């Protein structure tokens, strides 16, 4: 049976990481992989996480399954983090299950949508996270795109986006990035979110909100503005969230899928379908990461420490954006790169050609995706001069 298999192309980002690791240049820079790195280039464990892990080690007394929904306390705390004091919680219209990371949350959402309508269409932004399309197609959904990023002018193509969304069918789903758009870093303004929410309410399509970076843009509540506004506007919605970035729990693989229905009774029905989806994919979610998150969010001390550590990461990323733009100017670059400062979160399109990206890799050991998407956290005070000089040379 295996003889019929054909090799699949390697993931471009993972392939880039392999080349970076093999590169012997002492000045090499990794701007490809989307994980947060500190000034030393290390993805350290948060101090609040270390304290939560010690508490977990001291108090855990069983390794028994936690059930398909995951930890009820984790689900409750995640819903509160996502929605704040929103009426969907007060009215008991939301149901949350914990999942194996944000990717697992998206796959559960995709299978849930397929249960609602076989062969359903989901619209994603152009561009979007590279794994979105394959993930939704693997679940049997049809994937279409709506305009989002204007590469030529390095800004959001909001007019094109809104026009496309007005043509979406009522029984389609639309994927929206809550904040820190991956890969462009270009987010909707509050006014633009209001217009999108009005279109969603008018047409009746299902909003699917991917929130992988809450707290990495402007703040925890600020980054949830669009999501909460959408929940005010529609009767049904799906939210996929991740604890990988804002808690630094990448390898623990913990996230959540939340379904909002028009009533508590409808939410119960949706929850039963959600649990069936979980049961036939992975049966039970992992427990450790969820335990750490619920411990942090249940403790005033640890929660406040997490706020501080999250702010430190956010401020560093925003500082890196301004730093690279300033350094490019210092190195005589006359092209306008101010769009980098206007974007938010982990990523930005530098805006150079694939040939220039390849030159950065071949001649200067600077690694980024061919589209010129770069991970801002990979920039540091130690490498920014070399990076700016390298970019200046390939321009």
- Catalytic residue list: 129, 210, 245
Q: How far apart are CA 148 and CA 155, in angstroms?
A: 9
Give the ranges where 60-129 is alpha helix by DSSP (H).
72-83, 87-90, 101-116
Q: Helix, strand, or coil here: 222?
A: helix
Cross-strand bridge partners of residue 366: 29
Q: How far apart are CA 113 and CA 186, in angstroms?
A: 27
H or E, element range at 241: strand 237-242
DSSP symbol at 233? H
Q: How far apart are CA 194 and CA 2, in angstroms?
A: 51
State the sign of the Cα–Cα–Cα–Cα dihedral 98, 100, 103, 107.
negative
- Looking up tokens 């007394």 gives 61
Beta strand 149-150 pairing with 237-242: unpaired
Q: How far apart are CA 327 and CA 63, in angstroms?
A: 52
- Cα distances from 287 to residues 106, 252, 302, 376, in angstroms, run 19, 9, 19, 31
H or E, element range at 269: helix 264-281
Cross-strand bridge partners of residue 122: 143, 173
Q: Are the C-beta atoms of residues 166 and 199 closer than 8 Å to each other? A: yes
DSSP 33-77: S-S---TTS--PPPHHHHHHHHHHHHH--------TT--HHHHHH
Q: Are the C-beta atoms of residues 241 and 101 closer than 8 Å to each other? A: no
Q: How far apart are CA 88 and CA 79, in angstroms?
A: 10
H or E, element range at 200: helix 190-203
């Amino acid at each position: 049976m295996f003889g019929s298999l054909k090799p699949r192309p390697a993931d471009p980002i993972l392939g880039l990481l392999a080349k970076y690791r093999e590169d012997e240049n002492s000045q090499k820079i990794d701007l490809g992989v989307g994980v947060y790195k500190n000034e030393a280039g290390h993805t350290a464990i948060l101090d609040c996480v270390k304290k939560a892990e010690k508490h977990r080690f001291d108090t855990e007394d069983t390794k028994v399954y936690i059930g398909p929904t995951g930890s009820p306390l984790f689900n409750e705390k995640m819903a509160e983090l996502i929605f704040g004091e929103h009426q969907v919680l007060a009215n008991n219209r939301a149901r949350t299950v914990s999942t194996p990371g944000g990717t697992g949350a998206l796959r559960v959402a995709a299978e849930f949508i397929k249960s609602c309508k076989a062969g359903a269409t989901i619209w994603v932004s152009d561009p979007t996270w590279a794994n979105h399309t394959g993930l939704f197609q693997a679940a049997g959904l049809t994937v279409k795109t709506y305009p989002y990023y204007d590469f030529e002018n390095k800004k959001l193509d909001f007019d094109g986006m809104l026009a496309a969304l007005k043509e979406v069918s009522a029984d389609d789903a639309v994927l929206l990035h809550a904040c820190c758009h991956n890969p462009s870093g270009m987010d909707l303004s509050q006014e633009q979110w209001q217009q999108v929410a009005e279109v969603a309410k008018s047409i009746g399509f299902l909003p699917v909100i991917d929130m992988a970076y809450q707290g990495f843009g402007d703040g925890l509540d600020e980054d949830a503005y669009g999501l909460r506004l959408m929940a005010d506007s529609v009767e049904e919605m799906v939210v996929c969230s991740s604890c990988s970035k804002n808690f630094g729990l990448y390898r623990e693989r913990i996230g959540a899928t939340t379904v909002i229905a028009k009533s508590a009774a409808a939410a119960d029905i949706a929850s039963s379908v959600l649990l069936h989806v979980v049961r036939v994919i992975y049966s039970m979610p992992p427990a450790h990461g969820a335990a750490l998150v619920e411990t942090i969010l249940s403790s005033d001390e640890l929660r406040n420490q997490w706020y501080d550590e999250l702010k430190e990461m956010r401020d560093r990323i925003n500082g890196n954006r301004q730093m690279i733009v300033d350094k490019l100017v210092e190195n005589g670059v006359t092209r306008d790169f101010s769009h980098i400062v206007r974007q938010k979160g982990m990523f930005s399109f530098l805006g150079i050609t694939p040939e220039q990206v390849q030159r950065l890799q071949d001649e200067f050991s600077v690694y980024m995706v061919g589209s010129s998407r770069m991970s801002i956290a990979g920039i540091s005070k130690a490498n920014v001069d070399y990076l700016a000089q390298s970019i200046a040379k390939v321009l």
